[in-house]
Amino acid sequence: MERLHARLADEYELSERGAALERKLGWIGDTIQTLLSLLQARRALGLEAAVVVLVGIEVAFTLFEHVIRPLWP
């Protein structure tokens, strides 16, 4: 049985195919990690932009309350 297994493993190049699959799976894993990092960075950038806009609106309201409104009769 061991001889048959060894012969089949040699004939079908199981160790070489296994190594090739490991390399491909490693590459796929690295690619997925990179894509996830890019998506997270894009989301973080959107949230930062929203915070900046909200702070700008708050500054505009504060200026209106303290500078422009007292000038109106």
In tens, the pLDDT along 3-60 reads 998 898 888 898 999 999 999 999 999 999 999 999 999 999 999 999 999 999 999 9
31 alpha-carbon distance from chain centroid? 10
The structure's pTM equals 0.62
Query: In this predicted structure, what is the pLDDT of residue 41?
Result: 96
Q: How far apart, in whole angstroms, are the C-alpha atoms of residue 5 and residue 26?
A: 27
Token pair for 56 = 């700008």
Q: How far apart, in whole angstroms, are the C-alpha atoms of residue 25 and residue 42?
A: 26
